[in-house]
Amino acid sequence: MPSRFFVTGTDTGVGKTVVSALLCAALDATYWKPIQTGSREGTDRRTVIEVAALDRHQTVPETYCFSPPVSPHLAARRAKVSISISKIASALQPISGNLIVEGAGGVLVPISDSRLMIDLMGALRLPILLVARTSLGTINHALLSLAALRAQALEVRGVILVGKPDRENRRAIVRYGRVRIIGTVPQLDQINRPVLREVFRKHFQRRFFLS
């Protein structure tokens, strides 16, 4: 069976796109970000294509793409658009093979007046990969995100840490979050396909990324 995951994070800017690009390069997966905001500054799909050296056919266009760099619910409101979870879920059906779906923002980011990013995760029913920083504050953010995901009975495959190694923060997330750290991304001087594949080989537990 194909390897298919939803990549979410404990916060905006935590490193979801780098992790998504890494997994696309390592698993030869298709990339899809259903909801993109801040497109005036460039899209995450364009970033993944460039750093992971993907062909365009290895990516899926955004279902919703908004120019201002704000929360999805606010971007949609300004565009006078309603984000439909069912529309996004239906767009998933034709996509075959290995797939990395990247969320926007964190677990509880609103995408409409009544729905959150976690509701989209529930509709897609893909195993969740939670990306967290290694720095101060990560324990609280990681534990809150894990609690929210588990409250919705979503499968959390594991946590991926991004940044300078911190042994105590790692231990705390594993212990109190009752979760596995299945990958780490160290500080990188450059980001390209060979580098990302090497990081996966050295710092990720491949068995957790196989169906």
CATH number where 53 lies: 3.40.50.300
Number of domains in the chain: 1
Q: Counting beta carbons within 10 angstroms of the beta carbon of residue 142, is it exposed (0 to 12), middle (13 to 18) or buried (19 or more)?
A: buried
Q: Range of 108's domain?
A: 4-209
Residues in the chain with pLDDT < 70? none
d(CA 115, CA 123): 11
Distances in Å between the Cα of 17 and the Cα atoms of 7, 36, 134, 137, 191 are 9, 12, 16, 20, 12
Summarised one tens digit per residue, pLDDT across range 91-107 is 998 999 999 999 999 99
144 CB contacts (<8 Å, ≥6 apart)? 10
- Nearest of 199, 211, 149 to residue 179 by alpha carbon: 149
Q: For residue 7, which phi and psi values (nearest 5 degrees)?
A: -95, 115
179 CB contacts (<8 Å, ≥6 apart)? 130, 146, 156, 158, 159, 173
Q: Counting beta carbons within 10 angstroms of the beta carbon of residue 56, is it exposed (0 to 12), middle (13 to 18) or buried (19 or more)?
A: exposed
Summarised one tens digit per residue, pLDDT across range 111-154 is 999 999 999 999 999 999 999 999 999 999 999 999 999 999 99
β-bridge mates for residue 9, sequence order: 106, 131
**Residue 187: per-residue pLDDT:** 94
- Catalytic residue positions? 33
**Residue 211: per-residue pLDDT:** 72
**Residue 132: per-residue pLDDT:** 98
Q: For residue 14, which phi and psi values (nearest 5 degrees)?
A: -80, -20
Residues 86 and 75 sit within 8 Å (Cβ to Cβ): no
Q: What share of the chain is helix, strand, coil (3-state, %, to 5)?
A: 40, 20, 35
pTM of the shown model = 0.97
